Each structure stands twice: as structure tokens, then as C-alpha cells.
Chain A
Amino acid sequence: MVVANDPLAMLLLKQDVETFLYHEANLLDDRRYEEWLALLTDDVRYWVPMRRNVKFGELEREFTREGQDINWFDEGKDTLTRRVNQILTGVHWAEEPLSRISHLVTNVEIVDATPSASNAEGVALRCRFIIYRNRVATETDILVGRREDTLRREDGGWRIAQRQVFLDQNVLLAKNLTFFF
């Protein structure tokens, strides 16, 4: 966490960022996918590595590497937009009928604010998430993990410039990842 030499500015910034994160989660859960896409910067990076069981002392090999290995996701806005468009075809059978999803975002911690907390144009944050997904009749997935986001201020509002998602699973217990983290 950044050293808060201006605690009041940090408090306000945290409030501001949390409001944004909850709004973003609500857009996804309300299936307002195109509005959600508009919250991503054009150069957004979205990365969800896979996670290995490795020996103590070799934890640097725990996650598959961004830009080098096969990952669950490792992409930018073009592919994310195609994912949204696929859902919007109405014949993406893995999301038709649509899932019922709730994103719970918690443990929000501001890691860095540039140039300063009182005047932030960029924020690095860490949080935890629980994604509850229920589909068709009894299909249920619960995915839990850590998220590391980089936000950037654009056109007077926050935009997501980078999202890194560290899932607490090895063998993925869900049959698909048709939703967004």
C-alpha cells in the first residue's frame, strides 16, 4: 500500500476507486456488456494465467507467463470485443440462455497512485473477487481469486488499462469461462 502522506486524499481516492469498481461489476452482472467494454482503454491488457502446483522455492513458476505461455486469457480489446459480440449473437450456446452472475469485489487496496493521491491520473490496485455463476437449472460455479487492476483517468472518468486475474484453482472446476472477471 502506498505511504499515505495525505490520508484524507487517500481516503477520497479509495472511495472514488471503489465506487468505480462496484459500478463496473454491476454493469457485467446487469449484462450491459457494451457499456462495460467502454470502460476499457483501447490498449487494455487482460491476463488470466493458469496455475501450477510447484515445489516450495519454485513459486516463480506457479503461474503461466503473460505473453509467453498458454493462459486462460492473454489478450487486448479486440478479442474482448469479439467475446462480447459473441454473447450478443444470441446463439452462443454456452451463454444462451444467459448465466446469472454476481461479482463480489472486496479487500480493495490501493497500491500506487500517480502522480499523487490527491491528483491521481493513474491507480494500481489489488482486490479479491468472488464470482457466483448459476446457469440453466442447477449449473453452479464459484470462482475466487485476486485481481490486480491498473486504472487510468480518461475523459474525466476511470478506465481499466490492465487487469490481471489470479484464480485460486489448478484444474479449472468450471467447464467454461464465458464471463468476464
Chain B
Amino acid sequence: MAITFQPSAYSGLVDHDNGMVSREIFVNSDIYAEEQERIFTRAWLFVGHESQIAKPGDFFVSSMGEESVILCRDRQGEIHVFLNSCMHRGMKVCRYDEGNTPIFTCPYHGWSFATDGALVGVPFYKDAYHEELDKSQWGLIRVPRMTNYKGGIWATWDENAPDFLEYIGGFRTYLDILFDGWDGAEGGTEVIGGIEKWLVPSNWKFPAENFIGDRYHNISHRSVDLVGIGPSGQGRRDTRERDGARALDISFPERGHGTIVFLRPADAQPVPSYQNDPVIADYFYQSEIARKERQGQLWRIMGGPGTIFPNMSYLPRQPRSIAVWHPRGPDQTEVWRWFLVDKSAPPEVKEFLRQYYIRYSGPSGLTEQDDMENWNYAHAASRGAMARRHHYNYQMGMGYAVTDFEDGGLSIPGTVLDVTKARAGEQNQRGFYSRWADFMAARDWDELAGWRNNGNGSAC
């Protein structure tokens, strides 16, 4: 049932025009509770990948905001997302992480549900319910809106939300880099087995804003740059491909999404990379050539870290992965991390990437260990009564972004801040928090889909 909200008292805590955000929105438990209602029941959220539920009966237990959901492929092959709570008296019907099943049976009183969510078994249906219970009304709660976009499964609880493609708008160009194959083949990726899950003691928005495009924190990663873990044994990544590229911060403030990209020169050609191993070097080189042929000018855009509002972040190049920042109270985030490889890549390439992903990412990753330290202690140091009186500063690059960025005949979708020289900016974070304020203020999706009224259509 859709709820109509009154504007929140908290939306004013984001001062977009002055590039300042109140610390309250990170540490205040009342605001956190409102976020669960206003953001996580209305936004499109990433749930999982179709390769995780390849066969009928396959399921993967995921999370939408704080709530457990079941991503499942039914016997007819159709994909569903259900609230993981028995319709009878609330028990979690599935406490496994993944598997294959013909039926979900609640351990409390034994109600059982088919993989399409239908209530198919009720103990004592005849004697205790006198066959009067209308089973068709008591199936598992199904998300009203779900989509499979290039293998990524997304869902929203709000039946009035726009279609997913309208929700991401022009950001699609950048999201495609994540889900398409390295050679540009549509949806050419699959998940490697094993989803990392761990707890970080910080508010969920710290990592979301970090991944949306914080180029400013090289000092955090000084140690890993010194020891070198990149695919070619140096630095954090293999960055030769960025030689001569322009650095762009791209924001969609009306939607909240953002990413950083590198734009190759108009006359750029694929350069060899990962040259320690000929099989791997050849795979990526040939893939780049194929992508260039397929995409033409668009090939020039090299993806970087990004965030789809509110809590799905990703790295589209290396280490190619998805992170979802599940809120677990104002002071805690449960991170889930999926890793992607090209379906058609040879085993050597998949293995090479797997090892790189592990040493880069998550709690055991030499790079990201240091990220979490920042989120943890930025949060901790912002909780005090005095600290809360002072806003965070997001003023870098204010007033320098353009909405009609063009380079060598290629138009770049979104609001673009050219940081080739500056090397850093904070417009993506400003866009993210401005959208956060929209969600806190808006009564419904008619207000949230502001782009429909200002002539930007669904393309921008």
C-alpha cells in the first residue's frame, strides 16, 4: 500500500547551493528511521544478478534496505523478489543464503510457499481453518516492480516509481560499461561465486558518496600504491590506458547518480595492457578493439567508480564489482560485494581477475581496508554534540560544471565537471545529497520525477 508522506523537517539539512551538508543526516537516529521509509521503500534497489539464479528453483537471499528479501526463479523460469517473512506470523521463511528449492516452508507453523510466492500449504487447513482461509490472498509479499537490466536485478516497493530505465535516465551509458562485456557485448557479464558480506561501523552514505567519485583521497591509498597490487604488479590499477585522457566527474543531480570517467582523445587507439601474461594481454586488447568497433565514439568513455542512488555502487573496469551498502542502523552498514567477469572470457582471464579482485577489495583487500578506516572514523568523530553543529564541506569545483559537455564530436550525458587539471571535484556528492533531500521532502513519485516537468525528458 502506497503511503503519502508529508515533507520531512530534515530535507533542509542539505544546503546544495553552498555545498554544505549537516552531520545530523549521518548520525541522527530519527533521520535514519525516516530514510528507511522515504528512501528505501521508494527507490530502485539492486538485489542480485541473474547468473546467481540460473535454474528454476534457484534462490538467493538478498536485502532491500534493512529488510531481507528472496530473489528466486520459479519453476516456469520467471524471476521474483519476495519479502522474506511469513504472511502468517512473520517468521523468516528462508534462512539460507542461496540454494535450490521446490518450496519455502516456514519453520514456525509450517505454511509453505511455492517458488512463485503462492501459498500452497497450510497445516490444519481443514480442521482449524475450516477451509475458509483464502490462500490466494496470503502468498509471499512480492515487490510490485522488478526489472532485469542486462543481468542485474533491481526492485522497488513503490508501484508508482518510474520504470528502471527512466530512473537511471542518461546514466545508462555509464551503467552499461559495468554490465556489458569488455568487448561491449550486451549484458556479457556473470558473477563469480562467493558474495563478500561484512560490517562497517559507519553510516551507509559514507561509502555511497565515496564511490560516487572521490578522486581526492590518494593519501588514503598511499601504502597500497607503494607496495603495488595492480594487474601488472604496480600501483592500485593498470592505468596506462588513461594516458592522455580527460578526467570528468559526471552527476545527475535530479536523480542522484554519479560517476567519474576518463575520456580518451578522439584519435585514441586501444593500447596493450596487463602484459605480464600474453593470454590475458591479448584478451583485453582484442576486447578493446571489438568494443571500439561496436561503439565508435562511445568507446572513448572509460568507466570509473559510480553510485546509483541510493546505495548501489560499482567499479566498471578493475576490479569489476558491485557494492551494496545495506543500512543497519545509523552507525552501521552491512556491505555486500559481487564480482563480475566476462562470461566468454578464457579461464586464464577469469582466474587472473579473481586473484586481483580478492587482493584489491573488501575487508581483505589491500586498497579498500584503508577506505573503511576513513568511513569508520569520519562517522565516529561526527557524532558528538559539538561536531554536529558543523556542516561537512562539499564546495570543491562549485560553479564549474556544464550540462552540454562535448569533446571531439562526442556529447557526454549528465552534468559534467572537467577535472583534468583540477584532478578532483565534489559535484557528484552535491548531486547525491541534493537527491537525498528530494527523497526526504517529496510526497510521492509525482514530485520525485521532477525531470518530467522541466523538459529534460527521460534521456538526461
Most A CB within 10 A of own CB, among B201, B220, B337, B364: B364
Please determine whether B198 and A174 come into contact, CB atoms closer than 8 angstroms. Answer: yes
Provide the B368-384 mask, 1 if CB < 8 A to any CB of A, else 0.
Answer: 01101110110000000
Residues of B within 8 A of A55 (CB): 96, 99, 101
Please determine whether A172 and B199 come into contact, CB atoms closer than 8 angstroms. Answer: yes
Residues of A within 8 A of B393 (CB): none
**Which residues, 344 to 380 on B, are CB-close (under 8 Å) to A?**
351, 354-355, 357-359, 362-364, 366, 369-370, 372-374, 376-377
Please determine whether A171 and B199 come into contact, CB atoms closer than 8 angstroms. Answer: yes
Please determine whether B199 and A175 come into contact, CB atoms closer than 8 angstroms. Answer: yes
Please determine whether B98 and A52 come into contact, CB atoms closer than 8 angstroms. Answer: yes
B95, B227, B339, B351: the one within 8 Å of A86 (CB): B227
A69, A93, A171: the one within 8 Å of B192 (CB): A69
Q: Is B267 interfacial (CB-CB < 8 Å)?
A: no
Residues of A within 8 A of B195 (CB): 50, 70
**Which residues, 27 to 81 on A, are CB-close (under 8 Å) to B?**
48-50, 52-55, 58, 61, 64-65, 67-75, 79
Main secondary structure of the interface of B (DSSP, over half): mixed
Provide the B217-228 mask, 1 if CB < 8 A to any CB of A, else 0.
Answer: 000101110111
B192, B227, B364: the one within 8 Å of A82 (CB): B227
Residues of A within 8 A of B370 (CB): 92-94
Provide the A132-157 mask, 1 if CB < 8 A to any CB of B, else 0.
Answer: 00001000000000000000000000
User: Given the interface contacts A54-B99, A75-B358, A94-B373, does A172 sit within 8 Å of B198 by beta carbon?
Assistant: yes
User: Given the interface contacts A52-B98, A170-B97, A171-B197, does A86 sit within 8 Å of B363 by beta carbon?
Assistant: no
Please determine whether A74 and B358 come into contact, CB atoms closer than 8 angstroms. Answer: yes
Provide the B118-140 mask, 1 if CB < 8 A to any CB of A, else 0.
Answer: 00000000000000000000000
Please determine whether A72 and B227 come into contact, CB atoms closer than 8 angstroms. Answer: no
Q: Is A5 interfacial (CB-CB < 8 Å)?
A: no
Please determine whether B359 and A70 come into contact, CB atoms closer than 8 angstroms. Answer: no
Main secondary structure of the interface of A (DSSP, over half): loop
A49 to B201, CA, bound (A): 23
Please determine whether A50 and B222 come into contact, CB atoms closer than 8 angstroms. Answer: no
Residues of B within 8 A of A95 (CB): 369
Residues of A within 8 A of B369 (CB): 92, 94-95, 176-178
A15 to B228, CA, bound (A): 40
A54 to B96, CA, bound (A): 5
* Extra pairs beyond A70-B196, A86-B226 (9, CB < 8 Å): A69-B192, A72-B363, A74-B358, A83-B366, A91-B222, A92-B224, A172-B196, A175-B201, A175-B372
Closest CB pairs A-B (n = 3): A70-B194, A172-B198, A69-B194
What are 30 sample pairs from A and B whose C-beta atoms fall under 8 A apart? A50-B195, A53-B95, A53-B96, A61-B99, A64-B194, A68-B193, A70-B193, A70-B196, A70-B337, A71-B358, A72-B363, A73-B364, A74-B355, A75-B358, A75-B359, A79-B359, A82-B229, A86-B223, A86-B226, A91-B223, A93-B220, A93-B223, A95-B369, A170-B97, A171-B334, A174-B198, A175-B376, A176-B373, A177-B363, A178-B369
